[in-house]
Amino acid sequence: MRTLRDIPALRETLGEYRQRGQRIALVPTMGNLHAGHLALVEAARRHGDVVVATIFVNPLQFGPSEDLDAYPRTLADDQDKLAQAGCDLLFTPDTAMLYPRGLDGQTRVCVPAVSEGLCGGARPGHFDGVSTVVSILFNLVQPDTACFGEKDYQQLAVIRKLVEDLHFPIEIVGVPIVRADDGLALSSRNGYLDPDQRATAPSLYRTLCELRNALEAGEPIATSLETGLARLRESGFEPDYLELRDADLAAVTATTRDAVLLAAARLGPTRLIDNLTLTLPR
Ligand SMILES: Nc1ncnc2c1ncn2[C@@H]1O[C@H](COP(=O)(O)OP(=O)(O)OP(=O)(O)O)[C@@H](O)[C@H]1O
Ligand SMILES: CC(C)(CO)[C@@H](O)C(=O)[O-]
Ligand code: BAL
């Protein structure tokens, strides 16, 4: 696996792939890789002839009081994992390479509606930062396919709309959530949890499972969500949101069948997200 840090070298190598007629599958990440990321690489291998991963902790998607500085940076370990997983090329630009005018002068991409509420409500400007960096990566790599995790359900919806609205000729592949044995969705931020918090963390998933069962059995939505929120608080979480939306993240109506439960909740300073799809009864 090659690791490249600058744009001209990236373009040269991508040009060689294209000359050979190879289809390019992209896996954008912020590093500190775990089995969830490696599932994206596996999906990328199925969809492309060459896999290009990126590691960039994007300052544009972090709020001023968020964990940009603390975010784990583990490049050597990530390189080993990616090479073993069959990644062909790793692009690891720094901030000056992607945003040469600085963050304030940077042109931004905003995907309306779907970026609002949920994580977009709790993290103002977050999805503009994601949409901007993903657009830059799409323009630089010009992949045939790009893989994103369903753990970041709203992010995946934002990127699908971005690709449609900006006419990027890229197939977006959503990859199912990879969980620990106790159900906790794998996340780089799980590393912030102390042992007690790590023992509590799976109750986010357990609460979503209980709620899904209640909703699929026809329990009323509002009271089920209230019970779920109370359960999270009893477990020690401070919820940002717990919502039921339709599969496209629009409000649920009387005719909605395919729905998704989405939650973000804090355990101490650590913010965890998770979601579960379900089918509402007729
Ligand atoms: N458990 C998981 N299962 C499937 N995909 C995942 C999982 N965790 C992360 N991903 C996906 O990996 C990609 C890169 O995510 P990122 O590098 O932010 O990792 P992360 O573990 O989600 O970190 P964070 O703690 O910042 O949310 C995203 O498309 C994300 O949805
Ligand atoms: C898509 C992404 C790599 C953009 O920085 C990031 O939001 C992530 O890791 O999910
Ligand atoms: N996994 C999404 C990146 C973020 O939380 O900033």
CATH number at residue 246: 3.30.1300.10
Instruction: Decide whether any atom of ligand 1 lies within 6 Å of the 271 Cβ.
Output: no
- The model's confidence at residue 19, banded by pLDDT at 50, 70 and 90, is very high
Co-location of 46 and 158 in the same domain: yes
- What is the rounded CA–CA span in Å between residue 193 and residue 107? 35
pLDDT tens column, 93-135 = 999 999 999 999 999 999 999 999 999 999 999 999 999 999 9
Does residue 23 lie in a domain region?
yes
Does residue 217 lie in a domain region?
yes
- Cα-Cα-Cα-Cα dihedral sign, residues 214, 200, 34, 181: negative
Tell me the HSE value of 67 on the side-chain side, using a 13 A CA sphere: 14
Residue 276: name the closest of 201, 204, 222 by CA.
204
Residue 162 assigned to a binding site: no
**Using CA atoms in the order 197, 202, 207, 212, what is the torsion angle rounded to 10 degrees?**
160
Does residue 180 lie in a domain region?
no
pLDDT tens column, 194-213 = 999 999 999 999 999 999 99
Domain final position from 122, 141, 175: 175
Provide mean pLDDT across the span 142-146.
98
Co-location of 202 and 258 in the same domain: yes
pLDDT tens column, 71-89 = 999 999 999 999 999 999 9
Co-location of 157 and 197 in the same domain: no
Instruction: Decide whether any atom of ligand 3 lies within 6 Å of the 273 Cβ.
Output: no
Co-location of 75 and 27 in the same domain: yes
* Residue to substitute in 78, 148, 152 for testing ligand 2 pocket (most ligand atoms within 8 angstroms of CB): 152
- Can you give the pLDDT at residue 86? 98
Instruction: Decide whether any atom of ligand 1 lies within 6 Å of the 144 Cβ.
Output: no
- Can you give the pLDDT at residue 156? 99
CATH code for position 128: 3.40.50.620
Residue 272: name the closest of 181, 171, 152 by CA.
152
- Can you give the pLDDT at residue 222? 98
Domain that residue 199 falls in: 188-276
* Residue to substitute in 66, 188, 262 for testing ligand 1 pocket (most ligand atoms within 8 angstroms of CB): 188
**CB-based contacts of 130: which residues, under 8 Å, 6+ apart?**
58, 61, 155, 158, 159
Task: Give the ranges where the chain is alpha helix by DSSP (H).
Answer: 7-19, 35-47, 75-85, 95-98, 118-122, 126-141, 153-165, 195-200, 203-216, 221-235
**54 alpha carbon to ligand 1 midpoint, in Å?**
13
Pick the residue whose CA is nearest to atom 10 on ligand 2. 29
Provide mean pLDDT across the span 233-261.
98
Residue 142: name the closest of 15, 5, 4 by CA.
15
Domain final position from 150, 175, 200: 175
Total structural domains in the chain? Answer: 2
- Can you give the pLDDT at residue 196? 98
> Quick check: is 37 catalytic?
yes
pTM: 0.98
**221 alpha carbon to ligand 2 midpoint, in Å?**
31
- What is the rounded CA–CA span in Å between residue 246 and residue 12? 43
Does residue 181 lie in a domain region?
no
- The model's confidence at residue 26, banded by pLDDT at 50, 70 and 90, is very high
Query: To the nearest whole percent, how much of the chain has pLDDT over 90?
Result: 100
Q: What is the mean pLDDT of the chain?
A: 98
> CA distances (Å), 76 to each of 7, 33, 54, 113, 279, in order?
21, 11, 14, 39, 42
